Amino acid sequence: MELTFLYILIAGFVLDLCLGDPKWLPHLIVGYGNLIGKGEQLLNRGNYRFVKGMFLTVLLVGASGGLPFIFINYLRSESWMWDEVIVSTIAVFYCLANKTLVQEGKAVIRELNEHGIEAGRKRLSWIVGRDTSELNAQQIMKATFETMSENLSDGIIAPLCWFACLGVPGIMAYKMINTFDSMIGYKNERYEQFGKFAAILDDVVNFIPARITAVLILLVKGKLNGLSMVFTEGKKHSSPNAGYPEAALAFVLDCQFGGPNFYGGKIYKKPFIGANNRALLSDEINNVAVINYSVSILFVLIITLAYLGFQC
């Protein structure tokens, strides 16, 4: 039985759980960001910005998937199985953000509790795109929980989905798409045309993973009775995907997310998701962390069982 896929999946996943994102280690996604930034500076000017943005997106996404495909097939053709496993495991490790997501979420709440509102706002600004300068303690906690649910999909479940479907080329191409969206997928004067194609592509590749994430959040808490609420409330979000994990977490925590937020100095009247507008408690971050880890581990187990089933 060919078990290389499982070696890579489990080893890459465990590496991320153990190491997270060490500051001393050069990171693939930083390289992706540098390429996107240089391309944007060169092309995002003059006329035909949508076409230029689409060209850059297709070029870099194609390269991020195509080059690993060529290299891994070369290793395979030379029968260098363990070289393939090592290279592929490192790629999977770089493309996951499980430990880092939980660490950053906990860091926001810790700064808020230990050093006050300003410290919490500053730390939160590292992980969200919204304006944090006027947020109160409840809003800081709400934003932290929201981003942990959304990035559970973007940073863990979606990459694993694309690895399961297309291997290392799939997970690396996905991370390039997601990096594009996080850098230029904004509806403002600078990026609305240039980043539009990348934003649409990100919506497409996250469509199924976001909904899988929502179902798994309910499943690990034994609350599948929340499916109706999730698929009703989730579609209220301006994003076609982000609302579903948020709605699932709101259901299992029996709280309310959403509401007005500032982005780029402008207020956006986002709808509320969930019915119980109760006060959040800072120690609930531990429950959210357990949910995130449980969902990711369960999904790896599901992929493993599905793969073994197909091999039989």
- Residues 254-293 have pLDDT tens digits of 999 987 776 655 666 788 999 899 999 999 999 999 999 9
- Residues 101-147 have pLDDT tens digits of 999 999 999 999 999 999 999 999 999 978 898 899 999 999 999 99
Q: What is the pLDDT of residue 87?
A: 95
pTM of the model: 0.94
Burial, 38: exposed, middle or buried (Cβ in 10 Å; 0-12, 13-18, 19+)?
exposed
- Residues 212-268 have pLDDT tens digits of 999 999 999 999 999 999 999 999 988 999 999 999 999 999 999 987 776 655 666
Taking the CA atoms of residue 195, residue 201, residue 202 and residue 207 in that order, the dihedral angle to the nearest 10 degrees is 150
Mean pLDDT across 185-211: 95
CA angle 56, 58, 173 (to 5 degrees): 115
In sequence order, the 6+-apart residues with CB closer than 8 A to the CB of 267 are 260, 261
Domain ranges within the chain, ordered by starting residue: 4-311
Tokens representing 56 are: 């850059």
CA angle 67, 203, 276 (to 5 degrees): 135
CA 161/CA 283 separation, integer angstroms: 31
CA 48/CA 64 separation, integer angstroms: 24
Mean pLDDT across 291-300: 98
Residue among 146, 197, 207, 173 nearest 62 (CA): 173
